[in-house]
Amino acid sequence: MKTALISGITGQDGSYLAEFLLQKEYKVVGLDHPASTLTYQYLEPLQDKISLVKADLQAQGSLEAVLEEYHPQEIYNLAGVSFPPLSWEKPLLTADVTALGVTRFLEAMRRVCPKARFYQASSSEMFGDVCQSPQNEATPFHPRNPYGVSKLYAYWMVANYRVHHALFAASGILYNHESPRRGLEYVTRKITHAAVQIKQGLLDKLALGNLEACRDWGFAGDYVRAMWLMLNHVVADDFIIGSGESHTVREFCELAFRCVDLDYRDYVVIDERYYRPLEEFPLIADNGKACKILGWQPEIRFEALVRLMVQAEWGVYVQKYEG
């Protein structure tokens, strides 16, 4: 039985990855930040099947202690400040955890279990202001927020530890990936949550920014499968993971409200506070390398993803209000 260590296990990706690895008959160990205020609702069905241990990406000694105890064969680093706007409010914390925390993790692995395999959760935010769409692994980076900058630092540290220390370390450059487990601060979950609330008379309007903004949206469950494929490939490498499709916020609204038999135009209002200008070259993934080399393909496409999220939101409503 292989042992996998997951940082960020309480989040969207971490919980889906834990479920996936348990199905593969792994022993799953999750890092739990000592001062964490996060809930464990997505891990409750798994609580008897996984181990949670205290460790901190800001304290290398705690990481080394966990690696000494469990000696995992696979390490998935999904922890960090994960909401780009928040990184402007907490740029130092973002840098210390999302950037330097990865270096501490790599150092701990090098010292304790150098034969393990390391996955780093990189982000399309590293591209920022790009000069082409779609983007591939050779597209130049130009991050435009502390989150993207921190992720880029971590990406290059992974690449350098792979070469200099001969570690098996891979980065997955993931584009937007959603699910019913997304936080309400993200526009996709904000839309699906509001659609159900409006249908039930609990909300009147939904305020959004630029409805023409485009994104490459996929399903988080598909993307954690790609993480596993990277660590079980014959050589360590970096891969772009995305749907390869571009959709607007307006399309997302239209589909989500249609799922509850409403017309989004009757309820969505534009609020300048949320407005983001259109990008000349939107972030769209060229996933050809991952498809060809890893054999990965997204299974849940855009329309199915929106339906899945609305249906889950409806289930939460029924459980909460109708018992």
Q: How does pLDDT run across 81-113, given as a tens digit for each residue?
A: 877 778 889 999 999 999 999 999 999 999 999
Question: What pLDDT score was predicted for residue 37?
Answer: 47
User: β-pairing, 50-54 with 168-174?
Assistant: unpaired
What is the Cα–Cα distance from 80 to 187, expressed in whole angstroms? 20
Query: In this model, does residue 4 exceed pLDDT 80?
Result: yes
Non-local (6+) Cβ contacts of 216 within 8 A are 124, 134, 175, 176, 242, 243, 244, 245, 246, 247, 282, 283, 284, 285
What is the Cα–Cα distance from 155 to 102, expressed in whole angstroms? 9
Question: What pLDDT score was predicted for residue 132?
Answer: 93
Same domain flag for 195 and 131: no
Question: Mean per-residue pLDDT for 33-55?
Answer: 80
Query: In this model, does residue 35 exceed pLDDT 60?
Result: no
Same domain flag for 105 and 251: no
Q: Within a domain: residue 222?
A: no
What is the percentage of the chain residues whose pLDDT exceeds 70?
96
- pLDDT digits 0-9 by tens, 245-298: 999 999 999 999 999 999 999 999 999 888 877 777 899 999 999 999 999 999
Q: Judge whether 125 counts as a catalytic residue.
A: yes
Rounded to the nearest integer, the mean pLDDT of the chain is 94
The two tokens of residue 296 are 């990965």
Query: In this model, does residue 38 exceed pLDDT 60?
Result: no
Question: Mean per-residue pLDDT for 7-28?
Answer: 96
Q: Within a domain: residue 152?
A: yes
What is the Cα–Cα distance from 233 to 220, expressed in whole angstroms? 20
Same domain flag for 206 and 136: no
Number of domains observed in the structure of the chain: 2
Same domain flag for 206 and 96: no
Set 19, 64, 125, 254: catalytic member: 125
State the pTM of this model.
Answer: 0.94
Same domain flag for 25 and 159: yes
Q: Judge whether 7 counts as a catalytic residue.
A: no
Query: In this model, does residue 34 exceed pLDDT 70?
Result: no
* Residue closest to 174 by CA, chosen among 229, 212, 115: 229
Question: What pLDDT score was predicted for residue 315?
Answer: 85
Set 147, 153, 161, 175: catalytic member: 147
Domain range for 100 is 3-174
* Residue closest to 222 by CA, chosen among 245, 204, 200, 201: 245
Question: What pLDDT score was predicted for residue 81?
Answer: 81
Set 122, 123, 150, 179: catalytic member: 123
Q: Within a domain: residue 75?
A: yes
- Please report which confidence band the pLDDT of residue 47 belongs to, taking 50, 70 and 90 as the band edges: confident
Query: In this model, does residue 237 exceed pLDDT 50?
Result: yes
Q: Judge whether 40 counts as a catalytic residue.
A: no
C-beta separation of 302 from 188 below 8 A: no
